[in-house]
Each structure stands twice: as C-alpha cells, then as structure tokens.
Structure 1
Amino acid sequence: MIEDILACIKEYETIIIHRHIRPDPDALGSQGGLQLFIKDNFPEKKVFVVGEEVPSLMFLNRMDIIDDSIYQNALVIVCDTANQDRVSDNRYHLGQKLIKIDHHPVVDQYGDIQWVDTTASSVSEMIASIYLKKPELTLSVEAARLLYAGIIGDTGRFLFPNATPETFHIVSQLVAKPFSRQNLYESLYKSSLALMHLKGYVLQHFDLNDSGLGSIRLTREVLDSFQVNSQEASQLVSAFSDVENLKVWVVFVQEDDQIRARLRSKGPKINTIAEKYHGGGHPLASGATVYSWKEADSLMQDLNKLL
C-alpha cells in the first residue's frame, strides 16, 4: 500500500490533503506532516492542506486557501476520516484520484486507494512509518513535530492502550529530531482560566450511576455563564476520567442546532452506539450527535444496556 501511495505522489504535480471536520491533533498532525513529508522529498510538487481552522490548534499548522480549479488533474488525499460526510471541505471529490489514509474501523468505502490500519495508534503514526520503512526518504524537523503531535494527541500522551511497541519505536525516531517537546506540550495542553472554571463545574456536577456510566450535560446556558464556546468545552472529555468505578462516560455539549456527545470507555466497545447516533470512531473513543435532550436520554439508555 505504501508503494502504491508513493507511486501516486510521484505521478502527480499537484496534491491536496484533507482531513475531518473539527480537527484534533492527529487530523492536523497527519495532514500537515504528510504535506511537509512530501515537500521534503519532492520539493518541485505543489502540496496544499485545506479545511476549517481551530484557533486553539493554529500553532500546529495553517490551512491553504485554494480555488476549485486547483483540483483539476490533482491527487487528493484524505487523512483520519472514516465517514465521507465528515471530510472537511467537500471539494475532496473534485480531484483526478483519491486516496484514503485512516486508522478508524471502516465506515465508508471511498477512494481509489484505501490504506486503513486499525492497529495504528493514529494516522500520524502511519505517515511516520513510511519514513522508517523507506530509509532513502528524508523527514524535516517540522514534519516530525507535527507527526509527534498527532501521535501524542491520539494516544493521550501514551496513556491509552492504542500505544503499542510499534508506536514507541516510531516515536523514538521522531524525537531524535531537534524540536522542543516541552513547547509542544505546553501549547497542546494549555487552558484558559474560563475553561478551568468550567472544569471545576464539571467535576462538581457530573453523574455516575451504579453501572459505571458517567455523564455531564453542558447546556448553552452553562457555556454562556462561563464564557466558553462548545469547541473549547469539548476539551473536557477526560475531566473526570480517573474517578473510581467509572467504565463508560459521555460529555454532552450543546450547540445552536445540535448536541455533541463525546464518548469514552475503559473497556466496553462504544463505537457501534456512536454510529447509531450520527457518529462513530474507535471502540474506546467515539463521537456522536443528537438533536434533543430526549435523544440524549436514548443514547444514555443504550450505554446503560451495554454496561
């Protein structure tokens, strides 16, 4: 699969890289890391990254603004996206050839080439593995920084079980590059005072039932009272993850027209339930969307049944 992808990269002069909406460090790390990796080894090629930007993650990399005409005869690569309807910037289908690179369980079969590895901790790990398997290729310091950011983001700083011996082997090669891990950690995990106050609210008000299901509902009124937006609030998905007897938990964050549900698990597989509610993801970390608190109650009932 790597050989096929490299052959396509060599064939096309213009390459456009997409990823999922509401990007996390792995989405941006794999997208930007792949862009720089291609530029490192094929400097004559035009490589663009597109999609909406998240202010808190702009320190990783910035998106390009390109015209529709750029897609003509271009290679398009979509990173870290299992569902086509979650691809950021729906022009991804306008190119001549499409490649999907992902580590989520398959939801949509799309792309002329599909490289899906559910054993990888992250798509950033998959991209970095190309460098290890192809010693004739080079990897810049900035590309290594982005790929490392994606890996630590999806492994929870190597605390999650998806961090395998292969993950650590790959990371050992990335950290040999002279970027500042301290600066990266500080930028990734810093929080505003308002968000810290909201975290205090979450710790005081989350529920935990006898089955081991934890939950918190962050309504528009709560978010407005703390002056925190819904995207910032979603960062609190692990705020109470260390509480005793917790097995599965969900953080509901209300937006203007929908309610985002961030689901996490310490064992039971939750991604199939997330798929039922307009979402999906990994067995132990998924996202979903509901459109009323009544539908949120239904999601909670399904999680209770699972437990």
Structure 2
Amino acid sequence: MKQIEVIDTILDKIIDYDQIVIHRHVRPDPDAFGSQIGLAEIIKASYPEKHVFVVGEEEESLLFLAKMDVVDDAFFHEALAIVCDTANRGRIDDERYLQAKEIIKIDHHPEVDAYGDISWVDTSSSSTSEMIYQLFQVGKSRAFQFTDHAAKLLYAGIIGDTGRFLFPSTTKRTFEYAAELVQYNFDRTKLYNQLYEMDASIAQLKGYILSKLKINEHGVSSVRVTKDILENYNITAEQTSKLVGVLGDIKGIQAWVIFVEEEELIRARIRSKGPAINEIAAQFNGGGHPLASGATVFSWEEAEQLVQALTAVCE
C-alpha cells in the first residue's frame, strides 16, 4: 500500500471511531509526547463530539506540555488504539492497547516489530511529530482542524528528535513543516527554555561526566552514572536524559554511551556521529535510530560488552 493510501486509511478510521485512545512509548521524549498529544489535539479540534484520550505514565520533565488521562478498562473494548513513536510492542506504554477493537501504528523508527491492524512507518521522517503534521496536511481536505497547542506540541517533537535541526534526519520537508508550525500562536522562546533548561544539580553532574572523559583509540567514550552518583547529585535516572548529548561536541569521539544505573537494570543511552548503532542496541534489549539509540543491560560486565561491540563498529 502506498503511503498516501495508508494515511487515507488512518484518516478513515479516525473518522469512523467515536472512542480513540492514543499511546506512545515508555520513558517518553518530546517526540513521543508531541506526536501523541498533538494528534489528540487535532482529532478533538476536528471532532469535538468524539471521546479521545492519551494514556501512559506521567513524565515530570514534560508535564508543561500536557498530562495523561485516566481511562477505564472498559473504554478500550470499542475503541481505536493509535500507538505513536514506538518501534516494538515491548515499549508501548499501557498494555491495554491490546484490548482495543483496532490498532494503528505510526512511527519513524526502523521497523523491528511489525504490529497493528494498520501500520504507517516512515523512516525518512525526522520524527513522528513530523508524520502527524503530514497526516493533518492530508486531512485538511476532509475538514480536519489544527490549533495553536497542536502546533506547539508537534514543533516540540520535531526539535526534540532533530536536536534543534542539527541531526542528519532533518530534511527539506522538516524545515517546511517547522516554518508552517511557527506561524501559529505559541511562545517559542519559552518552549525552548522549558525543553532545555536544567537544574543546577544536573549541570553539576554534567561537569562530573566531562571530568571522567576518556576516549579509546577508535573514538568511543563511555561513562557510568551509578546509583551512588545519582544520590550524591540528588537527581533521578530520568533527569539524566538531558545529558545524553554532552559528549557530542568533543573532537575525536565517534560514538558514546552513557550508562545510568537504576534499581534492577542499567539504562544505556547511545549516540553516534557516523557508525550505525541501532543494531548494537537491538543486541542489548533496545533499539532506535542509526545515530541515536537506547538499550538495557543488567550488569556492569554486560555494559562492558556493549562498549566492546560499539568499539568494533567504530573500527
């Protein structure tokens, strides 16, 4: 099925259903939130009579964008579930999507897990938020409506997943959509501040990470942030997401990984300036993009195996 046909089919389903629940991945980033809630805003503005909810765990750092809804289990039985920005089923937040009458997947990650009655995967898109705006562009001919808040959400998702338009995933279409979104009424300066400002404690941890910098002969750097370090700096594991790019501007680094120890696992945030890393992430209970991925290991020995795999790719 051609992409425009898939989009038309998704629009048909949105029009058909009176009950819609929109999901995204666990530990959401701005694109997950932006695409999920931005889509909800578009549907609500277009069809005020429909019952549209967003679900998932709250993310404190993104509460300025929106809060999640509380939805009764029975609601799902006659509902359409739309899952945004989630490559594989294991990362979908709120497993009740399985109870829905039909499931739609909208995602821009390389497909590692085909799911859903309808699937729209476009790896050429910078973000799922970009895809949602494209969905609206097609839907305009069916009287779909847009709002200032939807523009803010989708813009947040696009700048989040493009690193403020610095990443190679940024395309001509990305800039064209961004140019249209900024014509809506929202405070871009405030949005940037809310997305990127950090507490003093996180800035201090940034200094710690830089003080521990080591680069091996193949341009790989790795940093361990243990539970003790998190406690010393009085920050949560989730807050460390603001530091994932801290090593990206350092000359000589090809790829890097920041390990963050949680209660029962160690989160690995992996980034690259060139070598593809998503297959390595897949080997260690994760996935993502060729230059930006995440993984999970369960011991420091396994963490070292990930570093070795990353080094082999950079060789």
TM-score (norm 1): 0.99
Deviation readout 1:267-287 (Å, 9 max, x if unpaired): 100000000000000010000
Larger mean CA deviation between 226-235 and 89-98 belongs to 226-235
2:153 to 132, 137, 146: 146
Check the 8 A contact 2:198/2:242 in 1, yes or no: no
Who is 2:74 aligned against?
Answer: 69
**2:251 counterpart (244, 247, 252):** 244
Question: How far 1:70 sits from its partner (Å)?
Answer: 0.7
Aligned match for 2:43, one of 18, 32, 38: 38
CA distance, structure 2, for counterparts of residue 68 and residue 133 of structure 1: 32
**Structure 2, unaligned runs of 5 or more:** 1-5
Shift of residue 133, structure 1, vs aligned partner:
3.1
Amino acid at match of 1:241: G
Paired residue total: 307
Partner of 1:267: 274
Q: Which residue of 2 aligns with 1:210?
A: 217
Match of 1:172 in 2: 179
Unpaired segments of 5 or more residues in structure 1?
Answer: none
Deviations 1:96-127 (A, max 9, x none): 00000000001111000000000000000000
Aligned to 2:232: 225
| Match of residue 117, structure 1, among 103, 119, 122 | 122
**Match status 1:187 vs 2:194:** yes
CA deviations 1:188-236 (Å, max 9, x no partner) are 1111111111111011112211110011100111111111111111321
- TM superposition outliers: structure 1 runs of 4+ over 6 Å: none
Q: Does 1:49 align with 2:57?
A: no
Looking at structure 2, the residues matched to 3 and 176 of structure 1 have their Cα atoms a distance apart, in angstroms, of 26
> Partners of 1:117 and 1:238 in 2: how far apart?
25
Equivalent in the alignment of 1:80: 85
Give the match for residue 12 of structure 2.
Answer: 7
How far apart are the structure 2 equivalents of 1:235 and 1:186? 13
8 A Cα contact 2:11 2:139, kept in partner: no
Q: CA deviation at 1:135?
A: 3.4
**Would you say the 8 A contact 1:234–1:253 is kept in 2?**
no
1:103 lines up with 2:83 in the alignment: no
